[in-house]
């Protein structure tokens, strides 16, 4: 839930997802 509320954390997750993809 925190990651969803934290835009910064969400950005990091998206970046990781792009790296994996």
8 A C-beta contact, residue 13 and residue 3: yes
Condensed to tens digits (0 to 9), the pLDDT of residues 1-21 reads 565 667 787 888 888 888 876
pLDDT reported for residue 6: 74
- The pair of structure tokens assigned to 21 is 């993809």
pLDDT reported for residue 1: 56
pLDDT reported for residue 5: 67
Instruction: Report in angstroms the alpha-carbon separations of 4 from 9, 11, 14, 20.
Output: 8, 10, 11, 20
User: In sequence order, what E strands does the chain have?
Assistant: none
pLDDT reported for residue 21: 67
- The pair of structure tokens assigned to 7 is 């835009």
């Amino acid at each position: 839930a925190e990651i969803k509320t934290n835009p910064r954390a969400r950005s990091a997750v998206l970046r990781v997802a792009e790296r994996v993809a």
